[in-house]
Amino acid sequence: MGPQAAGDTGVVRAELIPELLLERDGEPQPLPALPAGADIPQIHQFGYVAQLEDLLADFAQGREPIMGAAFGREVLELVCAAYTSAGRGGDPIGLPFEGPRDRTPHQLWTNAR
């Protein structure tokens, strides 16, 4: 089973391997069509090609990318807090993450117990 999220309005589940599958409340959701000749579908399906194209366009125009360093930092804060929370049985962990910065997410999870 892949990652899933549930809330008051439904459940979303994704399978990432061996191929991308997206479901909402158990119903498969359509995915964008792959470009002709895509030899590694996941690179397109996970959005990597589109992200790189956007980054190159921003660079060419001298713009700050949407997915820049600040966004990366926010994602890292969330991942570290989530792994620490998991290691503590689901205890809430505030953001920004104030825990140790010298550990991997897995170490945060296993050392939080």
Per-residue pLDDT of 66-79, as tens digits, reads: 878 888 899 999 99
* CB-count burial class (<10 Å; 0-12, 13-18, 19+) for 1: exposed
Residue, of 19 and 86, whose pLDDT is higher: 86
Same domain (yes/no): 53, 98: no
Residue 47 has pLDDT above 90, yes or no: no
Same domain (yes/no): 81, 105: yes
Domain of residue 109, residue span: 68-113
- Say if 3 falls within a structural domain: no
CA-nearest of 58, 85, 84 to 71 is 58
- Say if 2 falls within a structural domain: no
Q: CA distances (Å), 99 to each of 82, 83, 87, 95, 107, in order? A: 11, 11, 13, 10, 12
Same domain (yes/no): 52, 74: no
